[in-house]
Amino acid sequence: MARRLPRRDVVIVGLGWTGAILAHELTDAGYDVVAIERGPWRDTATDFNVGYMPDELRYAIRQDLFLKPAQETFTFRNNTTQTALPIREFGSFLPGNGVGGAGVHWNGHTWRFFPSDFNLKSHLDQRYGPGFVHKDLQVQDWGFTYDEIESAYDRFEYLAGISGKAGVLKGQVQTGGNPFEGPRARDYPLPPMKMTLAPTMFAQAAQGIGLHPFPTPSANLSGAYVNPLGIAMGECTYCGFCERFGCSNYSKSSAQTTILPLLMRKSNFEARTLCEVTRVNMHPTGKHATGVTYVDVNGEEFEQPADLVLLCAYGLHNVRLMLLSKIGQSYDPNTGEGTVGRNYCYQTNSGVQLFFDDKIFNPFIAAGSLGQTVDDYNGDAFDHTGKDFVGGAGINCIPTNGRPISFRPVPPGTPRWGSAWKKATKDNYLRAFGFSSQGSSYAIRGNYLDLDPTYKDRFGNPLMRMTFDFPDNDIRMSNWVTDRMQEIAKALNPRQAVVSRRTKPYNIVPYQSTHNTGGAIVGADPKTSPLNRYLQSWDVHNVFAIGASAFPQNAGKNPTGTVGALAYWAADAIIQKYMRNPGPLVQA
Amino acid sequence: MTHDAAPPVSVTRRRFLASTAAIAVLASAGGRAHAASLSGILPWQPYSATPPTPVVPGGWTFFTPAEARAVEAIVDRLIPADDVSVGGKDAGCAVFIDRQLSGSYGSAQNLYMQPPFANGTPSQGFQSPLSPTGRYRQGLAGLDAYCKANFAGKSFDGLSPAEQDDLLKKMEANGIKFESGDAKSLFELLLQNTMEGFFADPIYGGNKDMVSWRMIGFPGARYDYRDHIDKHNQPYPLPPVSIMGNSTWVRR
Q: Write out chain B in H/E/C secondary structure.
A: CCCCCCCCHHHHHHHHHHCCCCCCCCCEECCEECCEEECCCCCCCCCCCCCCCCCCCCCCCCCCHHHHHHHHHHHHHHCCCCCCCCCHHHHCHHHHHHHHHCCCCCCCCCCCCCCCCCCCCHHHCCCCCCCHHHHHHHHHHHHHHHHHHHCCCCCHHHCCHHHHHHHHHHHHCCCCCCCCCCHHHHHHHHHHHHHHHHHCCHHHCCCHHHHHHHHHCCCECCCCCCCCCCCCCCCCCCCCEECCECHHHCCC
Asked whether the beta carbons of residue B34 and residue A359 sit closer than 8 angstroms, the reply is no
Q: Which of A46, A69, A404 sits opposite B48 (nearest CB)?
A: A46
Interatomic CA distance for residues A491 and B193, integer angstroms:
38
**Is B178 inside a domain boundary?**
yes
Instruction: State whether B45 and B105 are in the same domain.
Output: no
Let me know if residue B173 belongs to a domain: yes
For residue A510, say if its preceding peptide bond is cis, omega within 30 degrees of 0.
no
Q: Are residues B14 and B112 in the same domain?
A: no
Residues A344-370, mean pLDDT to the nearest whole number: 98
Same domain, B110 and B147: yes
B32-88 residue pLDDT tens: 578 889 999 888 888 888 999 999 999 999 999 999 999 999 999 999 999 999 999
What pLDDT, on a 0 to 100 scale, did the predictor assign at position B71?
98
CB contact under 8 A, B123 and A509: yes
Query: Which of the residues of A are catalytic?
Result: 515
Distance from CA of A6 to the nearest CA of B (A): 7
* Shared domain check, B83 and B188: yes
Quote the pLDDT of residue B249. Answer: 65
- Running DSSP on this structure, what letter comes out for residue A522? B
A294 DSSP β-pair partners: A277, A302
Residue A449 has pLDDT above 60, yes or no: yes
The yes-or-no verdict on residue B248 having pLDDT over 80 is no
Q: Do A365 and B228 touch (CB under 8 A)?
A: yes
Element of type H or E holding A17? helix A17-28
By CA distance, what is B219's nearest residue in A? A364
Are B185 and B128 part of one and the same domain? yes
Contact A489, A497 (CB under 8 A): yes
pLDDT tens by residue, A562-574: 999 999 999 999 9
Question: Is B234 contained in some domain?
Answer: no
Which of the four pLDDT bands, split at 50, 70 and 90, describes residue B15? very low
Residue of A559, A519, A529, A538 whose CA lies nearest to A140? A529
Instruction: Check: CB of residue B77 under 8 Å from CB of residue A418.
Output: yes
Examine residue B249 and state whether it is found in any structural domain, yes or no: no
Q: To which H or E segment does residue A343 belong?
A: strand A342-345
Q: Name the residue in chain A with its Cα closest to that of B196.
A: A405
Q: How far apart are CA A542 and CA A387, in angstroms?
A: 44
Tell me whether residue B198 is in a domain. Answer: yes
Which chain A residues are within 8 Å of B222, Cβ to Cβ? 54, 239, 364
B29: domain range? 1-50
- The second-level CATH assignment, the architecture, of A3-578 is 3-Layer(bba) Sandwich (3.50)
Residues of B in contact with A50 (CB under 8 A): 223
The nearest alpha carbon in chain A to B82 belongs to A419
Contact B223 A249 (CB under 8 A): yes
Q: Is residue B100 part of a domain?
A: yes
CB contact under 8 A, A264 and B39: yes
Domain ranges of chain A: 3-578
* CA distances for A67 relative to A313, A329, A371, angstroms: 12, 27, 28
Q: What is the pLDDT of residue A588?
A: 84
Region for residue A430 given its phi and psi (left: phi exceeds 0; alpha: psi -120 to 50; beta: otherwise)? alpha
Q: Is the pLDDT of residue B7 over 90?
A: no
Residues of A in contact with B194 (CB under 8 A): 417
Q: Is the Cβ pair B199, A273 closer than 8 Å?
A: no
Q: Which of A417, A471, A466, A415 is nearest to A443 (CA)?
A: A471
Helical spans, DSSP H, in A326-466: 418-428
What are the tens digits of pLDDT across the range A229-276? 999 999 999 999 999 999 999 999 999 999 999 999 999 999 999 999
Residue B219 in any domain: the answer is no
Q: What percent of chain A has a predicted confidence (pLDDT) above 70?
A: 100
Q: Are residues B79 and B195 in the same domain?
A: yes
The string of pLDDT tens digits covering residues A388-446 is: 999 999 999 999 999 999 999 999 999 999 999 999 999 999 999 999 999 999 999 99
Quick one: CA dihedral A97, A100, A101, A106, positive or negative? negative
CA distance A365 to chain B (A): 6
- Overall number of domains in chain B: 2
DSSP string, A200-267: HHHHHHHHHTT--EEEPPBSB-SS-EE-TTS-EE-----BS--TTS--TTS-B-SHHHHTHHHHTT-T
Distance from CA of A587 to the nearest CA of B (A): 37
Q: Could you tell me how many CB contacts below 8 A there are between chain A and chain B?
A: 248
A507: closest chain B residue by CA? B123
Shared-domain flag, residues B134 and B43: no
pLDDT at A452 over 80: yes
ipTM over cut 0.85: yes
Nearest one of B196, B172, B198 to B90, comparing CA atoms: B198
- Set of chain A residues whose Cβ sits within 8 Å of the Cβ of B9: 298
Whether B91 and B176 share a structural domain: yes
Residue A336 pLDDT more than 60? Answer: yes
Instruction: Give percent of chain B above pLDDT 70.
Output: 85
A365 chain-B contacts, CB cut-off 8 A: 225, 228-229, 236
B89 in the same domain as B6? no
* Predicted local confidence at residue A102, as pLDDT: 97
Whether residue A454 and residue B116 make contact (CB cut-off 8 A), yes or no, is yes
Residues B141 and B40 in one domain: no
**Has residue B225 been placed in a domain?**
no
B40 and B123 both lie in a single domain: no
| Preferred mutation among A87, A270, A459 to probe B, highest tally of B CBs within 10 A | A270
Beta carbons within 8 Å of A150's beta carbon, 6+ residues apart: A182, A183, A184, A185
**CA dist A399 to A240, A325, B99, Å?**
9, 42, 32
Q: Angle at which helices B65-78 and B93-101 pack, to 10 degrees? A: 130
B98 and B201 together in one domain = yes
Cβ–Cβ gap A237/B224 under 8 Å: yes
Which residues on B lie below 8 Å from A61 (Cβ)? 196, 200
Residue A208 CB neighbours (<10 A): 11
Residue A342 has pLDDT above 80, yes or no: yes
Has residue B93 got a pLDDT over 90? yes
Contact B156, B73 (CB under 8 A): yes
Query: A546 near A504, Cβ under 8 Å?
Result: no
Average pLDDT over residues B115-121: 97
**Confidence check: pLDDT of B31 > 90:** no
Which among B54, B26, B160 is positioned nearest to A52, based on CA atoms? B54
| Residue of B110, B195, B215 with shortest CB distance to A426 | B215
Question: With contacts defined as CB-CB under 8 Å, which chain A residues touch B33?
Answer: 40, 274, 297
Please give the average per-residue pLDDT across A548-558, as a whole number.
98
Q: Which of B3, B19, B48, B123 to mutate to test the interface with A (most CBs of A within 10 A)?
A: B123
To the nearest whole angstrom, how far is the Cα of A61 from the nearest Cα of chain B?
9
Residue A210: how many other CB atoms lie within 10 Å: 8
CA A66 to chain centre: 15
